[in-house]
Amino acid sequence: MMRRGTGEPVDSYYEIRPECTDVPKSRFKVKVGKTLSVRRWQAAFSPEGYLDIGSILSHVQRGGIHPSIRGEVWEFLLGCFDPKSTFEEREQLKKLRRVQYAQWKEECRQMDSHVGSGTIITAPTITEDGEPIKDPIVLMQAVPSANPISAGASRAADESITDKKIIQWKLSLHQIGLDVLRTDRSLVFYEKKENLAKLWDILAVYAWIDKDVGYCQGMSDLCSPMIILLQDEADAFWCFERLMRRLRGNFRCLDNFVGVENQLQSLASITQVLDPKLHKHLEALGGGNYLFAFRMFMVLFRRELSFCDSLYLWEMMWALEYDPDIFSVYENPWFSNEKSEGFKGKIKSIRQFGKYERQNLKNQAKGSEAPLPISVFLVASVLKDKSNKLLQEAKGLDDVVKILNDIAGNLDAKRACRTALKLHKKYLKKARGT
């Protein structure tokens, strides 16, 4: 394993199986003075545990996070913890959340005994009418169990189910299994079957508690890094749950959420303003709805970057968008015990906001339009980079998709963020007519 701060690639932290020779190498390197180091991270806490989030954001925005502390930093960036909480308060909250997760998991196990058993379902156990499927189901025994699960062990195999919510949830379990077995399989980490089972359990529990969204393909790609970065299953669940509060609108259009469709429309508007020639060309090809960019929004560039670089991109995005009210804004919808005074009664410094969010604050002060997520401008930065190629070589939508697919493994995460910030600033000026 490389030494911290050497400037070497960090692929060793996310080891690739030797037979996977076509996996793109990471461009991310730990850089002294730029990457958030263990020493700087520890120094950012007061003796009581209060975190100077401003100093952390500046480092993450410039050079990402050292892999050895990535998980614990993400918990703050995603709003799991309030920077203005103490070590003791966070430990109490963590215990509370672990108990809650265990209760939900047990609730799911009572409905389907595969949950928590180390077994992953890869074929339906019930019909859409809730009738049990008697034929042997396809299972993967991920972890040896004292009580092995047989094809007829789950409740569904013994009795009909009438509760529509339970039926819907149980129907999603095999799809979760199929996706889990396809997720990040190039990583040595997932050679351990217990890690696959952990990913399946978290997604199964989430699908049960968030009944409005349930489970959709793509969620396994978003959850997988949490399993790798956070050793405790409950902690990984809550980190994923916080990420889903940002992205659940991508999987189902809900009130007050900017779903993928809205983001595609925003991307079209941005391109029309910043690169009208390209927008006109895409429209002529029948791509005016920008559906070719759908995948980038759904799984946040997981297909366009190496595993390590996708994590690097995510943390830079979250740091750039960071709002110090993130903990209180994300009021917990699942149980009422979680409370925090947060920044109540405290004056927030502008340095406690991410760089992108600071631009949005200035824009809002001038009465301009509501802010867009930085992901829209990241995709716009990709289109800008490929603009000439698209104009010269794209004769149809298939060509557009092929050209954009060619960025896989070649996208520079830091450069994309830098370009996104410039496009955002330029767009705000043009939108205001200044």
Output the six-digit token pair for 265: 């429309």
Residue of higher predicted confidence among 73 and 350: 73
pLDDT value of position 144: 53
Domain total of the chain:
3
**Residue 333: Cβ-neighbour burial (10 angstroms; 0-12, 13-18, 19+):** exposed
pLDDT of residue 139: 64
And the tokens for 281?
Answer: 């060309």
Which of 251, 272, 299 lies at the terminal end of a domain, its last residue? 251
Provide the Cα torsion 213, 216, 221, 227; round to 10°: 60
**What CA–CA distance (Å, rounded) separates 368 from 253?**
24
Q: What is the pLDDT of residues 121-163, one digit of tens each?
A: 999 988 888 888 876 556 665 655 444 444 444 444 456 777 8
* Each residue's pLDDT tens digit, 377-397: 999 999 999 999 999 999 999
Please tell me the predicted confidence (pLDDT) of residue 90: 95
3-state secondary structure of 41: helix
Q: Which range, of 71-85, 129-143, 236-250, averages the lowest pLDDT?
A: 129-143
Mean pLDDT of 312-330: 83
The reported pLDDT for the residue numbered 368 is: 57
Q: Does position 11 have pLDDT exceeding 80, yes or no? A: no
* 187 shares a domain with 209: yes
* Span 158-185, average pLDDT: 89
* pLDDT value for 400: 94
Same domain, 295 and 397: yes
DSSP 298-332: HTTTTTTS-HHHHHHHHHHHHHHH--TTHHHHS--
208 and 277 housed in the same domain: no
Is residue 87, in this structure, part of any structural domain at all? no
pLDDT, mean of residues 176-200: 95
The predicted pLDDT at position 22 comes to 84
pLDDT tens-digit readout, 248-290: 888 865 544 457 888 899 999 999 999 999 999 999 999 989 9
State the pLDDT at residue 154: 47
* 2 domain-assigned: no
**Which residues span the domain enclosing 357?**
260-432
Give pLDDT, residue 27: 84
Which pLDDT belongs to residue 327?
67
pLDDT at site 69: 96
Q: What's the pLDDT score for residue 140? A: 66
pLDDT average, residue stretch 367-372: 69
User: How confident is the model over 182-186, as a mean pLDDT?
Assistant: 93
| Structure-block tokens of residue 33 | 């003075």
In percent, the amount of the chain with pLDDT more than 90 equals 57
* Residue range 198-233, pLDDT digits in tens: 999 999 999 999 988 999 999 999 999 999 999 999
What does pTM read for this prediction? 0.88
Same structural domain for residues 116 and 37?
Answer: no
* Domain termination residue (choose one: 231, 251, 271): 251
Residue 98 included in any domain: no
Lowest-confidence region among 95-99, 338-342, 374-378, 397-401: 338-342
Are residues 147 and 17 located together in one domain of the fold? Answer: no
Q: Quick check: is 93 in a domain?
A: no
Q: What is the pLDDT of residue 2?
A: 40
Domain boundary among 77, 101, 125: 77
Reduce the DSSP state of residue 251 to 3 states and report it.
helix
Question: Does 275 fall in a domain?
Answer: yes
Cα dihedral sign, 355-361-364-370:
positive
Q: What local confidence, expressed as pLDDT, does residue 155 receive?
A: 47
Assess whether 303 and 195 both reside in one domain.
no
Whether residue 347 sits in one domain with residue 232: no
For 74-103, what is the mean pLDDT? Answer: 95
5 occurs within a structural domain: no
Res 240 pLDDT > 80: yes
176-190, 214-228, 366-380: least confidently modelled range: 366-380
| 181 is a domain residue | yes
Q: What is the pLDDT of residue 409?
A: 76
Judge whether 300 lies within some domain: yes
343, pLDDT greater than 60: no
Looking at the fold, whether 36 and 121 belong to one and the same domain comes out as no
